[in-house]
Structure 1
Amino acid sequence: MTRAASPERDADLSRVASIAIETISGTQWPARLAEALRDLDATWQESAEVCADVAWRARAAGNSVLVLLAPEDVTGPGRGPVIWRTYRHLYLSALRYDFRCRSIESLVNQVLLPELNADPYSWALYAFSRLGQSRSDGLAVMERVLDMASDHPKTLHVLLHGV
């Protein structure tokens, strides 16, 4: 699903990200962020935009999502598709920032294929993991992501980082 950008929508997403960043020193920020994105019915693009930035800020603040969530939060459907996707975006992004390519690969391989096919950002993170390990199939995954995600900036940034 793609939603047309609007100033109101951008303001809502900025507010959600700001609240997460303001509470980043606590233990509940991932859950609060996931619930807020669920309440907005965020698209995969919107989730990627917010989660990539918030995951970086949490890492820099010394409260990485990798400490607060478990791998099962990424691989299992949990409390609904938007929350699951948010946790996946946060966790896989944090792994990317630590260059933990094998962990990304392992987790993505456990996610159901229909869920991944609806989420090019997670596929981009998988491509990053393959490229980061100098695996030749990483280029094919990257091409697939480019076809799926068009010119989504955060997705392109992940692919560029992998190359």
Structure 2
Amino acid sequence: MNDIIELWKAAIRHEALTVNFYSRAAEVTRDDASRMLFLQLAEMEGGHIQELLGQAAKASCLKESDVDLAAYAAGLEDNGRYAFNTEDEQAFLAGNMRTVLQLALGHELEAVKMYQQLALKTLDEATKQFCLTQQENEKRHVHELETLLNSLELTPEDRPGL
């Protein structure tokens, strides 16, 4: 039981850190197009937290537990920020889209792995299906970010939505 609770917490923590990452990126970038992208990504990841909490409330594997994942998530929102190293901070300040997209891609790949682990560990079929669906959503985000990375080779007029 503790393993599954820790996986739920890890999923929520990952999404919260990703929201903080994108929010911080939006704050520090000097490029307006980058800022809009980061704000959209932060909102999307915040939605993932709410989806996780909604599914957790229905998950039979958590019914017997006294863990309050909503309170856990709220505590994460109040604490800290994604810690940038100096190189990352400079990439954000410069609006270096390649570096920022590579960092974002790393977050999304971690999310794919995290949902896969949660799906494998849970005994609750509804939770398993939820995790597999979320994993597919995260794979789409990976594909979108890879497309954006590849588009950096194009002229600004030919790029799909940076």
TM-score by length of 1: 0.27
Where relative contact order (Cα < 8 A, 6+ residues apart) is larger, the structure is: 2
The structure with the largest helix share of the pair is 2
TM-score by length of 2: 0.27
- Structure having the higher Rg: 2
